[in-house]
Structures are given as structure tokens and as C-alpha cells.
Structure 1
Amino acid sequence: MATKKDKKLIVDKDWCKGCGICVEFCPKDVLEMENDIINIKDLDSCIKCGLCELRCPDYAIYLEGDESDE
């Protein structure tokens, strides 16, 4: 089973409508808006809390782990 540190932050820029909700909820300032689309500016600071994934209305950002994740 993958742990939090094994997960990877994924952004599907085709699905992002540029609302910026994920940027506002990120507790570590990992995300930014760039040309009206989300951009990961500091992946090393990401604590993989999942708030961006939880708040995105378009499922454009998510944490991906292996298939054994629940």
C-alpha cells in the first residue's frame, strides 16, 4: 500500500478552468495561477494533504498513488 509520500500530485491542465480554488486552500503555497491555469510552483513543499483535490470542482488536480490505494 502506498503511503502519502509515495503519492504524486497531478494537474490535468485540459480540465482546469482557472478558478483558483486549489491555490487558495493550499496550506503550503505549492500552487499558483499561470496564464489562468493552475501550475505547481513548489512541489517539494507539498505535504500531500489532498485539500486541492477535495476543493477542485472540475477534478483537474489530484493525488495519484498505486492501485492498492483505497
Structure 2
Amino acid sequence: MDWALPVIDKQKCVICGDCAEICPTGALSLLDKKIIFQNPRNCTFCTLCEQICPQKAIRCEFTITTGERKG
């Protein structure tokens, strides 16, 4: 299964760990002074990591759709 995860800009990230701490599913983790997707399948696309990042180093580049038809 292919899916898009939030993108972490390593140039902007200061490894504060706020994103990993707020992640309600444990998808993100702070490990060996890096932010990683420890459990990527747990990501529910809530965007909390993007919202809390003080450096704006996380971008959620996905669109959530409801499956409704247009027209």
C-alpha cells in the first residue's frame, strides 16, 4: 500500500522532539538524535506534527478526501 507521510525538512528541523511527543499514535519518534517514522502505518494524518513544529519543518503534503462524488 502506498501512502504519503508528512515530510520532514532536515535543514529546518532542530530535533526538539515536539512532533514525536504530540503524535497520538506513536508514528513519529525521536531516536538517536533524529526524528523518524518509527511506525509509519500508525499515522492517521491528523497534522498535529505539522501544527506544533516551531521551525515549520514538517509539511503534510496530502489531501484528505471524503470519497464523495462531484457533479
TM-score, normalised with respect to structure 2: 0.74
- Structure 1 stretches of 4+ with a deviation exceeding 3 A read none
Percent identity between matched residues is 34
Structure 2 segments unaligned to the other structure (5+ residues):
64-71
> Which range is displaced more, 32-41 or 11-20?
32-41
Aligned residues: 61
Partners of 1:8 and 1:23 in 2: CA distance: 14
TM-score by length of 1: 0.75
Q: Structure 1 regions of 5+ residues with no counterpart?
A: 1-5
The structure carrying a bigger helix percent of its residues is 1
RMSD: 1.7
Q: Which has the higher strand share?
A: 1
